[in-house]
Copies of this chain bind each other. A is one copy, B any other.
Amino acid sequence: MRKVLVVYSGGLDSYTLLNKALKEFDEVSAITFNYGQKHKKEIDYAIANCKKLSIAHEVIDLPLTGLLSGSALVGDSEIPEGNYDKDKMKLTVVPNRNMIMISVAASMAIRDQASHLWYAAHAGDHEIYPDCRPEFILKLKEVLEICDYHKISFEAPFQDLSKAEIVAEGLSMNLDYHDAWTCYEGGLKPCLKCSACLERKGAFEFNNAIDPLK
Contact = CB atoms under 8 A, between A and B. Distances in A.
Label chain A's interface by main secondary structure: helix
Interface stretch (A41-49, A89-97, A118-126, A157-165): A89-97
A72 B149 CA distance: 19
A99 B101 CA distance: 11
Contact of A94 (B67, B96, B107): B107
Contact of A96 (B60, B133, B136, B147): B147
B131 A139 contact: no
B139 A107 contact: no
A110 to B, nearest CB: 4
A106 interface: yes
Contact of A139 (B103, B130, B139, B149): B139
Interface string A54-75: 0000001101101111100000
A198 interface: no
Interface in A100-153: 100, 103-104, 106-108, 110-111, 130-131, 133, 135-136, 139-140, 142-143, 146-150
Contact of A148 (B64, B107, B131, B148): B131
B100 A70 contact: no
Contacts of A64: 104, 107
A47 to B, nearest CB: 16
Nearest to A112: B95
Given A95-B111, A100-B104, 14 more contacts: A60-B66, A63-B63, A67-B104, A67-B111, A95-B106, A95-B110, A95-B150, A96-B110, A96-B148, A97-B107, A99-B103, A130-B148, A139-B139, A143-B143
18 contacts: A61-B63, A64-B107, A95-B107, A95-B110, A96-B106, A96-B147, A97-B107, A99-B106, A100-B103, A103-B103, A130-B146, A130-B148, A130-B149, A131-B147, A136-B143, A139-B142, A139-B143, A140-B143
